[in-house]
Amino acid sequence: MPDPHAPSAPAVPPTPPIPLSALLAREDLALRRIAGPSDPGVVIHWAHTSEMADPYPYLLGGELLLTAGVHVPGSGGPSGPGGYFDDYVSRIVAAGGAALGFGVAPVHDTVPPALVAACDAHGLPLLEVPPGTTFAAVARAVWQLMAQARLAELRRVTEAQQSLAAAASRPDPVPSVLRQLAQRVGGRAVLYGPEGARVAEAGREEFPPGVREALDGLARLVASRAHSSATDTVAGAHLAAYALGAGQGFVLAVAAPHRDPGDHTIASVAAVLLSLLTGEHHSGSGAARSSALVRLLLGAPPEEVAPLLGDGRWVVVHARADGRAADAVAASALGAALGSALVDLADGVVRVLVPAGREPAAQPGWTLGVSAAAAPADWPAADRQAARALARARATRTAVARTGAAGSGLADLLPHGEAEAHARALLAPVAAVPALTETLRTWLSLHGSWDRTAVALAVHRNTVRQRVARCAALLGADLDDPDVRMELWFALRRS
């Protein structure tokens, strides 16, 4: 676990480093590595020229230090441990220097052998800078490569932000965001719940022993509110944890085999998106919703508690995720997209109560059924309308199906009471079997299509035929007659 009081490692500028191998590959510089490790993972953050005998106070770490050896004593001093070059190289390594470049001519004709031996001994890459290459040209090449690296990193971060935003709009937003984050950092992303349990995770699992436990511990540290974020390195794996929102209790943790400059930005974007997906969508609305629920449970009518939720009329939206089962977080994200936190998930259907002023639009990955605008007293009827609209949308493979405005047209030419009495009398033979009534309603709404009705009701088309035939027999009606269909439709609208 990181110690906040421990001395920090040599600081490096927050810029993308470049591989030392990329600088060596520049043919115009003709640099040559003559000592030290040939590890392709060695990177440099900038170039710095110094002729100081002790460059330690002037280094920040991560530099390619360039010298022409002006500071070297005339004889070069004794070689081996304790010699001039041994002390010189050890101080560069202690300061965090990444590599040393030694310019040949005009001071030295060759690189001193004692310097080569010291760099090998301390594991510091040593580059020979030929006479035709100026230190200014080396520094310019470093900055050119850094500019290219910065542009590539900005492009990577931008693409990651776009992919994370797209993932957050999917029906399974939390797993999608975690998958994208893990893919972008080449590691594993874990979401911890308020109780510290792993809610969801994605990405690679091949990490050394102890990494998983260390990641759990880092998440607990952040959840304890001691820090809003924390980092650690365990067995070569880079770990980071971020608290989501204010007081939500959720924590995002990431483990990666390496840490690129843009990874923190990418993870921070994911943390913001996950905060929105797991948190409240309307500040201050939680208490009002709680009050409304309590009053309903204690017997208050919907029209009495509705003002706690907002003013005006409402529409009911029923939704199903396309090709997958929706979870509670996906339902919450859908509610946020529709502009309402009044969300319910049951039997795979998400129901959302939306203020009528917010017209529900199509949502990627969802099929929606929308009721007509209704006052609180008519919400149960609007709920049934939305269910029928969703069935119609699924049957016709449309993203959104809407119910026409209730209480308008020919149905209003009859007094409401008389119309309902007529509907009850007409449908009485089938009213005792809800499956028959719903099948008849769906079949008529889909213009007598057997296949679409079967899709809408999730039954076999032969079942639809049998039910419709049973309705015709019980009603004693010819369902091929358009007048009979019209009268039954009006009756079903009133039932």
* Per-residue model confidence as pLDDT tens digits over 105-121: 888 999 999 999 999 99
Write down the pLDDT at residue 190. 92
Residues 170-190: pLDDT tens digits?
777 888 899 999 999 999 999
- Give yes or no for residue 261 having a pLDDT over 70: yes
- Give yes or no for residue 10 having a pLDDT over 90: no
* Domain 18-145 grouped into CATH 3.40.1390.20: yes
Least confident of 21-25, 117-121, 172-176, 225-229: 225-229
Q: Which residue has the tokens 């706690």?
A: 308
Whole-angstrom Cα distance, residue 329 to residue 252? 15
Domain formed by 171-278, architecture? 2-Layer Sandwich (3.30)
3-state helix, strand, coil in the chain (%, to 5): 45, 15, 35
Write down the pLDDT at residue 227. 67
pTM score, two decimals?
Answer: 0.48
User: Is residue 337 very low, low, confident or very high in pLDDT (cuts 50, 70, 90)?
Assistant: confident
- How many secondary structure helices (H) and strands (E) does the chain include? 16, 17
Tokens describing residue 396? 């016709």
**Domain 410-494 in CATH: superfamily?**
PucR C-terminal helix-turn-helix domain (1.10.10.2840)
35 - beta bridge partners?
126
Question: Residue 483 belongs to what H/E stretch?
Answer: helix 482-494
Write down the pLDDT at residue 79. 55
188 neighbors 201 (Cβ within 8 angstroms): yes
Round the average pLDDT of the chain to a whole number and report it: 82
